[in-house]
Amino acid sequence: MSHFSHIGLLGRRDSESTKYSLNRLIDFLSKRDVQMYLDEETSLEMPECKLPIKSRGELAKVCDLVIVVGGDGSLLAAARAFAGHNVKILGINRGRLGFLTDISPEEIEYKVGEVLEGAYEHEKRFLLELGVQRNNATIAHGCGLNDVVLHPGKFIRMIEFELFIDDEFVCRQRSDGLIVSTPTGSTAYALSGGGPIMHPSLDAIAIVPMNPHTLSSRPIVVNAQSKIRIFISYSNHLSPHVTCDGQTHVVTEVGDVVEIQKSERSLSLIHPKDHNFFETCRSKLGWASQRGNHD
């Protein structure tokens, strides 16, 4: 008997390799005692598929497992729809790095079969909530599993802002922007900005400056319960953007206040039983994979 009974399928758009893996997955699951549903957006790429079609909001209500076929970007998009719901997420990698979608296409039947039999590891990943205040009123909301990023938008110019943590002034900075990252996002954009790699089990947030004008400016790691506030200085001659997971963005104005904090919602992410975070780092980041001789 399957450990999961209602499974939603979601795939990356405009990808023939994703369609191939989805069809292979559907063929495999059709031999199991499970009810499958196809994500509404994904169904546009697979008009020949006869599975029941549901929106992501509907999938979040009826499914106990959602399988995402694609890259980490596909899973990040799914995270916003399924976070806070009683549904687990499993990723099959059809992207590049695949830190979150960690089953390879060649292992679909074997690894997904193990998961259906209950052989998997489960972890909670927290999201960041974004709020933008203007004239004491909230003008925008957002959330991100990886990060919230302040950046100049289409202009290549420095931004000036003031950073506060738990209402304590930290610094005034001129830089290309600021990355506020969860442990999940520490191996993504924050890593390219010189941020630390944080183990997924940490309850912490990394604040990473992007090309700061002051060389002594370094990343800061704070407790995940911290409330981060960024004041957009009046001296700016552009309208900085704030982006969540690189997929949704808000255009700010001088005098706006960007507020970031840990979300009350979390994502239930599952991995195959042999999943190992440091092995993933070794394979994805090119770390030395051989141990030395300790004899």
- Residues 6+ positions from 221 with CB-CB distance below 8 Å: 196, 198, 204, 205, 206, 207
Which one from 39, 72, 102, 147 is the annotated catalytic residue? 72
- Active-site residue 72, yes or no? yes
Cβ proximity of 63 and 37 under 8 Å:
yes
Query: Angle CA(88)–CA(202)–CA(282) in degrees, nearest 5?
Result: 80
In 3D space, the residue among 117, 52, 53, 59 whose CA is nearest the CA of residue 89 turns out to be: 59
CA distance 211 to 2: 50
User: Radius of gyration of the chain from Cα atoms?
Assistant: 21
- Residues 6+ positions from 294 with CB-CB distance below 8 Å: none
Phi-psi region of 185 (alpha: psi -120 to 50; beta: other; left: phi over 0): alpha
Catalytic residues: 72
